[in-house]
């Protein structure tokens, strides 16, 4: 497959704009479609590897990917342009949707109920994602203990992540070094 990176900053901007504009129900499938299939900026393997890296870095995965690719092709200007292109439309839309919702929600109990239902379904998607990712991990007892412990601390005990993350990550790293994970 022939791939060629975008030639101009404008092309980069509009590519990421079209990812953000269409990303109903999740950004990642659209990023793949635009960058790999439609515009052929990167190969399948390159895309998978970059996203894999961005998942291990803090911050929004796709936001980080826009920085990494923008930098690779156009340096600082590219990173900024790709990031702005990605967020420009979704930012406006989410605020518009929220403003619209806030206007009606004050007087309309049914709307609040519907939106709470959407929220609960979204919570379910998180739980489903955790199960999907966790299924393979929990075959190792150490991973099961870590997941249970972190869930009890964050979900039930409401421990601050600023405490929980360093502690749990240190434990996990120790376990990983001993080959338990």
Partner 1 sequence: MTLVELTLYFMLLSLISVGGMPSVLPELQRYAVDVKGWMTPDDFIQVFAVGQAAPGPNVLIASLVGWKVAGLPGALLALAAMCGPAAVLAWWVAEAWDRFKDTPWRRAIQRAIAPVVVALILSGGFILATPAAPDWRLWAIAAASAVGMLISKANPLWFLAAGGAIGGFLLA
CA dihedral 145, 146, 150, 151 (to 10 degrees): -50
Cα separation, 133 vs 3, in Å, equals 31
Q: Determine the interface stretch with partner 1 among 1-9, 10-18, 34-42, 95-103 (rule: CB under 8 A).
A: 95-103
User: Does 162 interact with partner 1 (rule: CB under 8 A)?
Assistant: yes
Q: Which of residues 26-65 bind partner 1 (CB under 8 A)?
A: 26-27, 50, 53-64
Q: Determine the interface stretch with partner 1 among 4-12, 37-45, 170-178 (rule: CB under 8 A).
A: 170-178
Q: Are 40 and 3 in contact (CB under 8 A)?
A: yes
Q: Which of 71, 85, 104, 107 binds partner 1 (CB under 8 A)?
A: 71
Q: Which of 45, 132, 139, 141 binds partner 1 (CB under 8 A)?
A: 132
Identity of the residue, 48 or 130, whose beta carbon is nearer to partner 1 in the bound complex: 130
User: Does 77 interact with partner 1 (rule: CB under 8 A)?
Assistant: no
Cα separation, 64 vs 3, in Å, equals 21
Q: How far is the CB of 129 from partner 1 (least distance, A)?
A: 6
Tally the C-alpha atoms within 13 A of residue 98's C-alpha that lie toward its C-beta.
6
Q: Compute the Cα dihedral for 156, 157, 159, 164 and give only its sign.
A: negative
What is the H or E stretch that residue 50 is in? helix 44-56
User: Does 137 interact with partner 1 (rule: CB under 8 A)?
Assistant: yes
Q: Which of 3, 22, 33, 40 binds partner 1 (CB under 8 A)?
A: 22
Cα separation, 145 vs 163, in Å, equals 18
Q: How far is the CB of 138 from partner 1 (least distance, A)?
A: 8
């Amino acid at each position: 497959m022939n791939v060629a990176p975008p030639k101009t900053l404008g092309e980069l901007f509009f590519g990421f704009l079209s990812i953000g504009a269409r990303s109903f129900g999740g950004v990642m499938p659209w990023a793949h479609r635009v960058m790999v299939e439609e515009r052929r900026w990167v190969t399948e393997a390159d895309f998978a590897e970059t996203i894999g890296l961005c998942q291990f870095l803090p911050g929004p995965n796709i936001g980080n990917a826009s920085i990494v690719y923008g930098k690779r092709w156009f340096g600082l200007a590219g990173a900024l342009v790709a990031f702005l292109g990605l967020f420009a439309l979704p930012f406006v839309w989410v605020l518009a949707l929220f403003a619209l919702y806030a206007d009606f929600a004050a007087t309309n109990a049914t709307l609040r109920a519907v939106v709470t239902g959407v929220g609960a379904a979204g919570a379910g998607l998180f739980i489903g994602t955790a199960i999907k990712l966790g299924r393979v991990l929990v075959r190792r007892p150490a991973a099961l203990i870590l997941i249970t412990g972190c869930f009890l601390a964050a979900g039930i005990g409401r421990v601050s992540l600023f405490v929980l993350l360093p502690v749990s990550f240190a434990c996990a790293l120790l376990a990983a070094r001993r080959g338990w994970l």
